[in-house]
Structure 1
């Protein structure tokens, strides 16, 4: 129950500790035309091999053919390029250092986003570069990530992203943040 509460409150909290940037909302990364298209989108069918835990040789998490165009959108918000932000989300680890700390990961807006299909559109995925690394014990643990956001097309076998963030700080969300 506690994890559910953290999940529900994370993205809508907007609260910042002293000295932290205000929270950037995930919708700030999506042009208004895409926001409207998402609102009008029909229900998505989750009956795919990935839903049963079966993945293709490419990881199985890329967008399936036949979804509404907004689910493939790489449209970005130019004003976000080069902006120093703090955004909350969930990690999808890609690379670790010799000590097992995640140094490269996707940040997604909701837990399990790259496990359930379809994954979020590329403009709702952020590739995070964090050379200091972070020990991740659970991909369902929400994180705050602070750093410089860049508009950057990222193509990965797991998923595609329209943004990358050079993180200066990554930390687990605590109850006191909410």
Structure 2
């Protein structure tokens, strides 16, 4: 038994120091949605006026000219309850008494709250971050790490297919 202690300590320490697995937005799409996105014609944002400080635009508006995949709530079941890390852009929702955001959507591209069309629900993550973070620029991406859950959420702004209980939120540093 004495000879196993160094190995046991190594295994325990590796488990404690393991960083969450990094995922990409495409990892959140089931295969059929991924293929439908690839087959979809390019969507332009021509003639869309931007209002950088306006976070109130409804991400739930439907455009009947868009394919159904743009409204998909299909998810990747294997990601449920996984410790993960993903980078994206914030859409602020709720702040605490100090003005730090404790709830926000994370989306794959900047300005999703003001562009048409918005990402599909399976490309929107509702983030709960009780510590709160200042969001001064919705065009500045963040890393989020914590526990990803499959949770169909709907509010007046958007529908989301995933929910993230964040342990850590920080400005995107490329790594």
Same fold (TM over 0.5): yes
> What TM-score, normalized to structure 2?
0.81
Query: RMSD of the TM alignment (CA)?
Result: 1.9
Q: Tell me what 1:138 maps to.
A: 137
Displacement of 1:47 in angstroms is: 6.6
User: Which consecutive unaligned segments of at least 5 residues does structure 1 have?
Assistant: 1-17
Q: Determine which of 65, 80, 103 is the counterpart of 2:63.
A: 65
Secondary structure, counterpart of 1:37 in structure 2 = helix
Secondary structure, counterpart of 1:114 in structure 2 = coil
> 2:23, 2:68 → 1: CA distance?
25
Check the 8 A contact 2:151/2:161 in 1, yes or no. Answer: yes
CA deviations 1:90-111 (Å, max 9, x no partner) are 1100000000000000001111
Check the 8 A contact 2:150/2:163 in 1, yes or no. Answer: yes
**What is the number of residues matched between the two proteins?**
154
Q: Tell me what 1:52 maps to.
A: 49
Displacement of 1:140 in angstroms is: 1.1
> 1:171, 1:60 → 2: CA distance?
26
Q: Tell me what 1:5 maps to.
A: none
Larger radius of gyration: 2
> 1:146, 1:166 → 2: CA distance?
8
Q: Tell me what 1:107 maps to.
A: 106
Change (3 A) 1:47 1:156: farther
Check the 8 A contact 1:59/1:157 in 2, yes or no. Answer: no
* Superposed structure 1 runs of 4+ greater than 4 Å apart: 45-48
Check the 8 A contact 1:74/1:161 in 2, yes or no. Answer: yes
User: Which consecutive unaligned segments of at least 5 residues does structure 2 have?
Assistant: 1-16
Choose 166-175 or 73-82, whichever is displaced more. Answer: 166-175
Q: Tell me what 2:38 maps to.
A: 39
